[in-house]
Amino acid sequence: MFAIIGIVVVLGAIVSGYLMEKGNLLVLVQPAELIIIGGAALGTLLVANPTHILKGILGQITGVLKPSAFGKKRYLDTLKMMYEFLNKVRKEGLLSVEMDVEKPKESTIFKKYPDFLKDHHLRDFVCDTLRMAITGGVEPFDMDQMMELDMEVSHHEAMAPIAALSTVADALPGLGIVAAVLGVVITMGAIGGPPEEVGHKVAAALVGTFLGILMCYGVVGPLAANMTKGADSHNEFLHVLRVLLLAFLKGNAPMIALEMARRAIPAHVRPDFNEMEKACKGAPASEAAAAAA
């Protein structure tokens, strides 16, 4: 949402300032310049990137236009899910959750948390780690190494579309110059004609440079920066799960593992201990006693 507001503010400020200086807004409407710059930018994107990166760009741009998926509620829901899951392991043993791990979409625990099931990276990260724990014979240090490798691959995959879009953003000023040069060529062919016609063609050429720079620094570049923050948020979420799983695999009680994971949550979305305890266990014992009194 804020990305849309930001783009509107950028365009609104530029147009407002232009109109305040008595500029003619129609002069900026140059479909040919847009076709040259936009078409060339799209072409370079298609030439430089395979299909999965193009799909990733579309998916991440869509994500930018939505609220963050990793707010405090998402963290609390995940901590609650893992508390329920790890308590089952502690009471009934690792083999009791084998089917939950093998078929997470059919798990009675995981089915309560559709956001977890929809995110295949998070789902596979948790289930693959627990599958190795159930198999046995893998030391916690080696499990940590596997989780770290998984995170690196996932983060690299998330950053590839961002790098591609950043490359296009860097190319847009140059493509604007290409459009401007073509406009100058057309202008030179009109030399000797009416001054109004020559002036219009010069203005159209300059609009090409303007559009290229505006799209780079006002739209595409900021979108890529926002997408980077989204990829970092996803990686931070994986890190929290990594801390939680490793703490439990080392033999800590579920609530201790959750507290260690809570400390790894970014400060601006981190719930306090009472919020986590209430989400996982219901009202704390002190509140229950007060209610009974």
| Closest by Cα among 32, 155, 154, 38 to 46 | 38
Task: Quote the tokens at residue 104.
Answer: 């997470």
Write down the pLDDT at residue 75: 94
Radius of gyration of the chain (CA): 27
Write down the pLDDT at residue 1: 66
Write down the pLDDT at residue 191: 80
Write down the pLDDT at residue 193: 76
Amino acid identity for residue 245 in this structure: L
Please state, as a whole number, how many other Cβ atoms lie within 10 Å of the Cβ of residue 136. 7
Name the residue with tokens 């260690």. Answer: 260
Q: What pTM value is reported for the model?
A: 0.85
Q: CA-to-CA distance for 228 and 61, rounded, in angstroms?
A: 11
User: For the packed helices 221-249 and 2-20, what is the interaxial angle rounded to 10 degrees?
Assistant: 160
Please state, as a whole number, how many other Cβ atoms lie within 10 Å of the Cβ of residue 33. 24
DSSP 3-state assignment of 254? helix
How many angstroms separate the most distant Cα atoms in the chain? 97
Per-residue pLDDT of the chain (293 residues; tens, 9 = 90+): 678 889 899 999 999 998 998 888 888 888 888 999 999 999 999 999 999 999 999 999 988 888 888 999 999 999 999 999 999 998 888 888 899 999 999 999 999 999 999 999 999 999 999 999 888 878 989 999 999 999 999 999 999 999 999 999 999 999 999 999 988 888 888 787 788 788 888 888 889 899 999 999 999 999 999 999 999 999 999 999 999 999 999 999 999 999 999 999 999 999 999 999 998 877 444 333 333 33
Q: CA-to-CA distance for 144 and 146, rounded, in angstroms?
A: 5
Q: Where are the alpha helices (DSSP H) in the chain?
A: 2-20, 31-48, 51-64, 72-92, 98-102, 114-118, 120-135, 140-189, 195-214, 221-249, 254-264, 273-281, 285-292
CA angle 152, 167, 16 (to 5 degrees): 120
Q: What one-character-per-residue DSSP string does 48-104 give?
A: H--HHHHHHHHHHHHHHTS--S-SHHHHHHHHHHHHHHHHHHHHH-GGGGHHHHH-G
**Pair 146, 132: CB distance under 8 Å:** yes
